[in-house]
């Protein structure tokens, strides 16, 4: 397949998503679809968004190719990277047509997801417990505050020593960062709950279980989800760092390996892929959060 056809397909997919969103908005504001699209395309914010992309790509092209500034001239230009990414026969062996590309993505996604899920399953209860019980807070908080600032990469050697093989070590390092972010945000969330919500529950006779599930958990939910979004981002960055040091697959490995092999366009492909995946994953967390916190959404859109 021709890269231009693929490019066309991608553009069409993006347009379809955009059109669908426009249709939803048109329904919301009760105006015609065409009117809504015109409104968006001519809106200041859309033009600025577009302008940002164009400025970025242009700066890249100009500094790297047109002017060829010293040091910059070693980098691949945007067009070159895009063609390589979409090429059915890539010069350096990585493009959307190669199996390797997806193997790297799958490895990274698997590690990040595992770490993120583990961090959520352990971090949220940990945060709730810290916010819930003064005793547990006193017991754990100083320790957490001492361990948390240790950069994830500093854990890599110990993780490799303790855990069987590189794979769990990379996941562990990723998990650790996400865990602390989640736990501390959950704690903050519990602390942010207005005292009167607890008082009301107590005078209505709430037992501990109801208090936890009907007041503490939903009350902390906005902070928990902010935390999960941050932890998703943090998981990706420590994952890539971990993969650069101790892995045979994954996007972090791919980027570092391409550097060693002087396959510069592949570095850019890896980075762009990380950008897209990171954006998708935090959008996913956001949309789950929105579903769970319908009461808040209505607060913003409501009467």
Partner 1 sequence: MADNGSKNKQSQGKGELVLQDVTRVFRLPGMPSCTTLKNCSFTVPRGSLTVLVGPSGCGKSTLANIAAGYDHPDSGKALINGKPVTGPGRDRIMVFQETALWPWMTVMKNATFGPTMLGGMNKAEAEQRAMALLEKVGLKDFKDKYPAQLSGGMQRRAELCRALVMSPQVMILDEPFRGLDVMTRELMQEYLLALYRETGLTMLFITSEIEEALFLGDRILVMTNLPGTIKTTVEVDLPRPRDFKVLATERYRQIKSEVMESLYEEGAKIFTKLDGAGDLMGSCRAES
Residues that bind partner 1 (CB under 8 A): 194, 196-197, 199-207, 210, 214-215, 218-219, 221, 293-296, 298-299, 302-303
Nearer to partner 1 (CB atom), residue 165 or residue 302:
302
Nearer to partner 1 (CB atom), residue 57 or residue 217:
217
CB of 269 to partner 1, least distance (A): 43
CB of 263 to partner 1, least distance (A): 51
Of 131, 151, 150, the closest CA to residue 141 belongs to: 131
CA dihedral 45, 51, 53, 54 (to 10 degrees): 160
3-state secondary structure (DSSP) of residue 142: helix
Cα–Cα–Cα angle for 100, 103, 107, rounded to 5 degrees: 145
Q: Is residue 285 within 8 Å of residue 141, measured between CB atoms?
A: no
Of 162, 161, 179, the closest CA to residue 238 belongs to: 179
CB of 126 to partner 1, least distance (A): 22
Nearer to partner 1 (CB atom), residue 185 or residue 263:
185
Nearer to partner 1 (CB atom), residue 178 or residue 216:
216
Number of residues in the chain:
303
Nearer to partner 1 (CB atom), residue 62 or residue 201:
201
Nearer to partner 1 (CB atom), residue 176 or residue 228:
228
CB of 132 to partner 1, least distance (A): 17
**C-alpha distance across the termini of the chain, in Å:** 52
CB of 8 to partner 1, least distance (A): 45
Rounded Cα distance between 203 and 157, Å, is 53
Rounded Cα distance between 242 and 208, Å, is 41
CB of 221 to partner 1, least distance (A): 7
Of 107, 101, 78, 77, the closest CA to residue 88 belongs to: 101
Q: Is residue 177 within 8 Å of residue 234, measured between CB atoms?
A: yes
CB of 300 to partner 1, least distance (A): 9
Rounded Cα distance between 26 and 238, Å, is 41
Nearer to partner 1 (CB atom), residue 290 or residue 298:
298
Map tokens 């967390």 to a residue: 285
């Amino acid at each position: 397949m021709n890269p231009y056809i693929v490019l066309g397909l991608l553009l069409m997919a993006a347009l379809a998503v955009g059109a669908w969103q426009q249709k939803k908005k048109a329904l919301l504001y009760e105006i015609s679809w065409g009117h809504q699209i015109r409104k968006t395309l001519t809106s200041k914010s859309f033009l600025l968004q577009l302008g940002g992309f164009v400025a970025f790509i242009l700066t890249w092209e100009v500094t790297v190719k047109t002017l060829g500034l010293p040091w910059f001239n070693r980098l691949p230009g945007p067009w070159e990277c895009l063609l390589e990414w979409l090429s059915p026969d890539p010069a350096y062996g990585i493009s959307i047509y190669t199996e390797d590309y997806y193997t790297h993505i799958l490895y990274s996604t698997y590690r990040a997801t595992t770490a993120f899920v583990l961090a959520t399953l352990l971090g949220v209860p940990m945060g709730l417990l810290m916010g819930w019980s003064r005793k547990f807070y006193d017991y754990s908080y100083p320790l957490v505050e001492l361990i948390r600032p240790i950069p994830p990469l500093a854990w890599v050697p110990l993780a490799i020593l303790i855990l069987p093989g590189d794979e769990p070590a990379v996941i562990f390092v990723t998990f650790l960062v996400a865990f602390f972010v989640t736990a501390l945000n959950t704690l903050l969330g519990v602390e942010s709950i207005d005292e009167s919500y607890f008082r009301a529950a107590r005078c209505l006779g709430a037992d501990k279980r109801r208090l936890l599930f009907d007041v503490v958990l939903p009350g902390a939910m906005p902070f928990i989800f902010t935390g999960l979004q941050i932890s998703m981002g943090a998981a990706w960055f420590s994952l890539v760092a971990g993969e650069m040091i101790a892995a045979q697959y994954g996007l972090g490995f791919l980027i570092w390996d391409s550097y060693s092999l002087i396959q510069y366009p592949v570095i850019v492909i890896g980075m762009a892929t990380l950008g897209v995946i990171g954006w998708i994953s935090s959008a996913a967390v956001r949309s789950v959060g929105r579903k769970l916190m319908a009461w808040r959404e209505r607060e913003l859109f409501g009467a």
